[in-house]
Amino acid sequence: MIGRLVEGTPRRGLVLLAVLLMAFLAAPLVANDYMLTVLILILYFSYTGQAWNIMMGFAGQLSLGHALYVGLGGYAAAALYFHFGIGPWLSLPLAVAVAAAAGAILGFLAFRFGVAGVYFAILTIAFAEFARVGFDHFTWVGGSAGLFLPVANYTRNDLWTLRGNPTMFYYVILAMTVAAFVLCHLLLRSRAGYCWQAIREDEEAARALGINTFRYKMYAVVLSAGMTAFAGVFFAFYYNNLFPEQVFSISRSIELILGPIIGGVGTLVGPIIGAFLITGLAESLREVMHALGVDVPGLKQVFYGLCLLAVVMFLPDGIWPPLSRALGLDRDSSRGQGT
Amino acid sequence: MPALLEVEGLSKNFSGLRAVQDVSFAVPAGAIVALIGPNGAGKTTCFNMIAGVYRPDAGAVRLNGERIDGRRADQICRAGVGRTFQLVKPFAGLSVLDNVIVGALNASRTMAEARTQAEAMLDLLGLAPKRALPAASLTLAERKRLEVARALATRPRMLLLDEVMAGLRPTEIDQMVKLLRDLNSARGLTILLIEHVMRAVMALSLRVIVMHHGQVIAAGTPDEIARDPAVLECYLGEEAL
């Protein structure tokens, strides 16, 4: 199993990954609570970026509405906990199923009726907006006033109900991120991975080679949506509150895709590097501004915009592809390397 | 010889333009047949109807006696028809090997089997030294070979080749002709090719079908076609006769 996992990955890459993993595992020993919350945010965006990447990076279907799946997953699990006391791990399958179903409906409508490219992206925004407006009036889950989970005093960590201190949440999201990384790595080498990449590169040629493009695009959307819903469950229990205006907003969808775009769309390492850079830099910027006593609302958004602009202008493939070449690692994770 | 591919009364209009009108022909199993004609004659449209890109307005396409018209392109590929594109469509971001693996998945149960099949196709088409390069870095001649390798990797019974010789140098054309002839004789692969390079058409084809303005105007052996007044007229103009 391990052998199959690492096959074809250069030794240097494996060492680097191992060091990185050790560093992440040891981080709570040295990090204070604030640094830990930043790391949690970074891992959260690494995970969601990885999930989004399956749809866009692998299969070439641009989603600008992934907040939909975060929200649906979060609301499903939070509502079950709030109303019936059902723990997040029990409600996780339902949360994933709800988001996957939403993805399936969207995918079916789009792919059956040939909605592609920019129009597909607009459709994904529309679905997230429907959800935002709908949940504003969905009083069972609090409507626009929001849904709040009871916050207990964190005297002890309860992994089963996801109630605990940041260290526990940190290890949960770290495990999710590692699992997503391994899953995507395996997917990229699988039949589905090859079919997705073929569709991304040229859908007509993919079809001519016997690939049922409708089916594989559906797989990508459903899988991506389901994985994202898991992040939504985490989000709900970590922040303990959900507001439709926030959780389904387009800015959340954009925030979620910045990591993979900056790091490198279609690569395995890109979403992680991107999340690191964008979240890390944005938080440092906030700290610096705070220390200087300057309060500029919207500065984070301006900063995101500048980062995106710089990457699009100077590194259109993202940071990882040139970086991996410089490090001599480009056999394992560069764009389009299914082998 | 029984016909592997039968096309009967095939027609297609594009918003009033009659691209293909009532075209019928047959490709016997194990044969190489060429489809020729001036630009805009409807050859590629015919191909696209056979390969499932377009649904015919009228007519039937049969593979081994079974109707395949109206099926999707991927279903037709799985039924045993491989094709290349006139304007080559490599998966530019993937390596040459990965391009062919995608095709090989069609008839492989495992990834390992697909990889073996793809490696064999790269050897056959002389692309093995380029296997790790991105397809975007290939020359036009290499891209044409990649198209053929990818289509062959799907293990078709019937191969549709759309101008694979165009843009090749004479020595490259001779190599391709030899390769196709080998595939045909060694593996019994049936080939229907659209071609403008007459040197290749004459060297390869058992039968030639000539299209003009969406219709079949002549069909016969290469020698018969070369002497046919209607064919000469459509290629050279009336005064040339």
Q: Mind giving me the DSSP string for A153-206?
A: --SS-BTTTTBS-HHHHHHHHHHHHHHHHHHHHHHHHSHHHHHHHHHHH-HHHH
Span A294-300, average pLDDT: 80
Which chain A positions have a beta carbon within 8 Å of B106's beta carbon?
209-211
Report the sign of the C-alpha dihedral through residues B161, B167, B172, B177, in that order: positive
- B42 assigned to some structural domain: yes
Q: Give every CB contact of residue B47 below 8 A, 6+ residues apart in sequence.
A: B35, B83, B160, B162, B194
pLDDT at B230: 86
CB contact (8 A) between residue B150 and residue A209? yes
The answer to whether A94 and A80 are in contact (CB under 8 A) is yes
pLDDT at A282: 86
Lowest mean pLDDT among A17-21, A293-297, B95-99, B170-174: A293-297
Q: Give every CB contact of residue A286 below 8 A, 6+ residues apart in sequence.
A: A299, A300
Span A68-93, average pLDDT: 95
CB contact (8 A) between residue A336 and residue B134? yes
Collapsing DSSP states into helix, strand and coil, what is residue A67? helix
Asked whether the predicted pLDDT for residue A338 surpasses 60, the reply is no
Q: Give every CB contact of residue A51 below 8 A, 6+ residues apart in sequence.
A: A66, A180, A224, A227, A228, A231
Side-chain-side CA neighbours of A297 within 13 Å: the count stands at 0
pLDDT at B232: 84
Asked whether the predicted pLDDT for residue A80 surpasses 50, the reply is yes
Span A186-208, average pLDDT: 97
Instruction: Tell me whether B102 touches chain A (CB under 8 Å).
Output: yes
Please give the Cα distance from A125 to A67 (Å, whole number): 9
What range does the domain containing B36 cover? 1-79+189-196+210-241
Lowest mean pLDDT among A3-7, A196-200, B144-148, B226-230: A3-7
Instruction: Tell me whether B202 touches chain A (CB under 8 Å).
Output: no
Instruction: Tell me the percentage of chain A whose pLDDT exceeds 70.
Output: 94
The answer to whether B143 and B108 are in contact (CB under 8 A) is no
Stretches in chain B below the pLDDT threshold 70: 1, 237-241
Nearest CA-CA partner of A91 in A77, A79, A78, A101:
A77
Please give the Cα distance from B51 to B183 (Å, whole number): 21
Task: Categorise residue A125: left if φ over 0, alpha if ψ from -120 to 50, beta otherwise.
Answer: alpha
- For residues A256-290, b (16+ Cβ closer than 10 Å) or e, as one string? bbbbbbbbbbbbbbbbbbbbbbbbeebbeeeeeee
- B172 assigned to some structural domain: no
Span A67-82, average pLDDT: 97
Q: What are B46's two structure tokens?
A: 């015919």
Span A73-81, average pLDDT: 96
- B73 assigned to some structural domain: yes
| Closest CA in chain B for residue A189 | B111
Which chain B positions have a beta carbon within 8 Å of A57's beta carbon?
none
CATH number (domain holding residue B74): 3.40.50.300
Q: What is the DSSP string of A271-314?
A: HHHHHHHHHHHHHHHHHHHHHHT---TTHHHHHHHHHHHHHHHH
Which chain A positions have a beta carbon within 8 Å of B154's beta carbon?
209-210
pLDDT at B1: 58
Task: Categorise residue B71: left if φ over 0, alpha if ψ from -120 to 50, beta otherwise.
Answer: beta
The answer to whether B205 and B51 are in contact (CB under 8 A) is no
Give backbone dihedrals phi and psi of B110, rounded to 5 degrees, phi first: -120, 165
Question: Which residue, chain included where needed, has tokens 């049936």?
Answer: B190
Nearest CA-CA partner of B118 in B98, B140, B92, B136:
B98
pLDDT at A4: 65
Please give the Cα distance from A80 to A332 (Å, whole number): 41
Across chain A, mean pLDDT equals 90
Span A65-92, average pLDDT: 95
Domains of chain A by residue range? 33-326
Give backbone dihedrals phi and psi of A315, rounded to 5 degrees, phi first: -135, 70
CB contact (8 A) between residue B74 and residue A205? no
Please give the Cα distance from A155 to A172 (Å, whole number): 18
CB contact (8 A) between residue B98 and residue A197? yes
Collapsing DSSP states into helix, strand and coil, what is residue A2? helix
Which pLDDT tens digit goes with each residue over A225-272? 999 999 999 999 999 999 999 999 999 999 999 999 999 999 999 999
Asked whether the predicted pLDDT for residue A154 surpasses 70, the reply is no
- Amino acid letter for position A336: G
The answer to whether A99 and A232 are in contact (CB under 8 A) is yes
Give backbone dihedrals phi and psi of B238, rounded to 5 degrees, phi first: -65, -40
Instruction: Tell me whether B211 touches chain A (CB under 8 Å).
Output: no
CB contact (8 A) between residue A197 and residue B74? no
- Closest CB to A202: pick one of B91, B151, B154: B91
Please give the Cα distance from A23 to A18 (Å, whole number): 9
**Residues 34 to 53 of B: which have CB under 8 A from any A CB?**
51-53
Which pLDDT tens digit goes with each residue over A107-118? 999 999 989 999
Q: Residue A200 to residues A139, A298, B115, B135, B143: CA-CA distances in angstroms?
A: 41, 35, 20, 14, 19
Which pLDDT tens digit goes with each residue over A125-139? 999 999 999 999 999
pLDDT at A155: 65
Which chain A positions have a beta carbon within 8 Å of B92's beta carbon?
201-202
Asked whether the predicted pLDDT for residue A336 surpasses 80, the reply is no
- Closest CB to A201: pick one of B73, B77, B91: B91
Chain A: residues touching B (Cβ < 8 Å): 189-191, 194-195, 197-198, 200-202, 204-213, 266, 335-339
Please give the tally of structural domains in chain B: 1
- B85 assigned to some structural domain: no
**Residues 104 to 163 of B: which have CB under 8 A from any A CB?**
105-106, 111, 114, 134, 150-151, 154
Rounded to a whole number, what is the distance in Å from the CA of A57 to chain B's nearest CA? 12
A153 band by pLDDT with thresholds 50, 70 and 90: low
Please give the Cα distance from A148 to A78 (Å, whole number): 8
Q: Which helix (H) or strand (E) holds B104?
A: helix B96-104
| Residue to substitute from B50, B89, B159, B161, interface A, most A β-carbons within 10 A | B89
This model of the complex carries an ipTM of 0.92
